[in-house]
Amino acid sequence: MEKRATMLEVGELAGVSQATVSLVLNGVPNARISKATRRRVLDAAETLGYRRGKAHPVPEGRKRVIGLFIDEVSTTPFSAQFIEGARDEAALQDVSVATFCTRSDPALEQAAIDLLVSQKTIGVIYTSLITRQLVVPEMFSALPLVLLNCYERKLRYPTVVPGDIVGGYVATEALLKAGHRRIAHLAGESFIEASVDREHGFRQAMTDWQVLVDETLVSLGGWTLRHGRERALALLSRPDRPTAVFCFNDRMAIGCYQAAQSLGLRIPQDVSIMGFDDEDLSGFLDPGLSTMVLPHDEMARWAVGQLLDGYDSADQDERLQKIKIECEFVERGSVARPNS
């Protein structure tokens, strides 16, 4: 799926805030923005191919508000991508997004639902910061609902999650295409679904390329920079060390950078490193970290569209689908051919 430019990227190119971009692109009247600034924003939007997306019908008799429920906003940087993606897509239809961080507290969820129902809002996007299976509380059946980055065993609502298995496959295949055969994998915790899926993709790519997985190079557990450093240090200290390491996430990859540098190994000349998530720091490492983008912005946009389209859909069963949006590969400088 094509990655759509965001208001944040338009603002960075135009040298203005995201708020200013929103005011200009949404044609807010009486905004005190100079003609020159407006022109810079419009030129930046055209350069980046920022598009307003397809029109979605907004139901009559409903307040132009969508409730975005999210279980946590502080443990990772990804909550902002969910919020901004939903807000950007909703703004294209002159719809606002009200965000509720509930930490899955039933009392807080009920209070928010009561408010949204009393205001006759459009519906709810139920979001988990970590991809996982869950059971949606019955209180949420009071409004149209879409699940974002989470899913139920029995499909009751439109659902969108990232394609972590394919992402793990693509990341591993990039290392295989570069000529690596002795590839280590720093996996995450076994209770994290994304960790299991990315390892699945790793193993499938190795199998398809007819490369035997050395199980001593698959290290399980952890997701932090410290975990990555400690586990990479053990692997890279071996006399038969791997020529490449695929890490569960970018934080572990940064730890892997530290381990390699402490051992006097050059990246990518002595060891190639692949991350996952494309956190902000990834592009500022030396060399920049090759990684996979989590499509949280695009997922949130899809969720908004599905919620609005639900009012205009004759076949509700057709909308009950679980969509997986592919993760994009970002090639930087941390992967090269292995030393012969």
| DSSP character string of 282-321 | GGGSSSPPBEEE--HHHHHHHHHHHHHHGGG-S-HHHH--
pLDDT value of position 1: 44
Dihedral, CA of residue 191, residue 192, residue 197 and residue 203, to nearest 10? -60
> 104 to each of 75, 101, 129, how far by Cα in Å?
15, 8, 11
Top pLDDT among 48 and 122 is at 122
Half-sphere exposure of 321 (CA within 13 A, CB side): 12
Q: Which two tokens stand for residue 92?
A: 């294209």
pLDDT at 327 > cutoff 60: yes
Confidence at 76, pLDDT banded by 50, 70, 90? low
Percentage of the residues of the chain whose pLDDT score is greater than 70: 89
Confidence at 28, pLDDT banded by 50, 70, 90? low
Q: What is the mean pLDDT of the chain?
A: 88
| Distance, CA of 325 to CA of 294 (rounded, Å) | 9
End-to-end CA distance of the chain: 37
Measured in whole angstroms, how far is the alpha carbon of residue 272 from the centre of its chain? 23
pTM of the model: 0.82
Per DSSP, 74 falls in state S
pLDDT value of position 26: 61
| Distance, CA of 52 to CA of 44 (rounded, Å) | 14
Say if CB 328 and CB 164 are below 8 A apart. no
Q: What is the pLDDT of residues 257-271, one digit of tens each?
A: 999 999 999 999 999
Top pLDDT among 339 and 228 is at 228
Per DSSP, 60 falls in state T
Question: SS3 for 222?
Answer: coil
Q: Which segment of 53-62, 171-180, 208-217 scores lowest on mean pLDDT?
A: 53-62
Helix orientation angle between 7-14 and 35-48, rounded to the nearest 10 degrees: 120
Q: What is the pLDDT of residues 40-59, one digit of tens each?
A: 888 888 888 776 656 677 77
Question: SS3 for 29?
Answer: coil
Helix orientation angle between 193-208 and 164-177, rounded to the nearest 10 degrees: 40
pLDDT at 2 > cutoff 60: no
Q: What is the pLDDT of residues 87-110, one digit of tens each?
A: 988 988 889 999 999 888 999 999
- In total, the chain counts a number of residues equal to 340
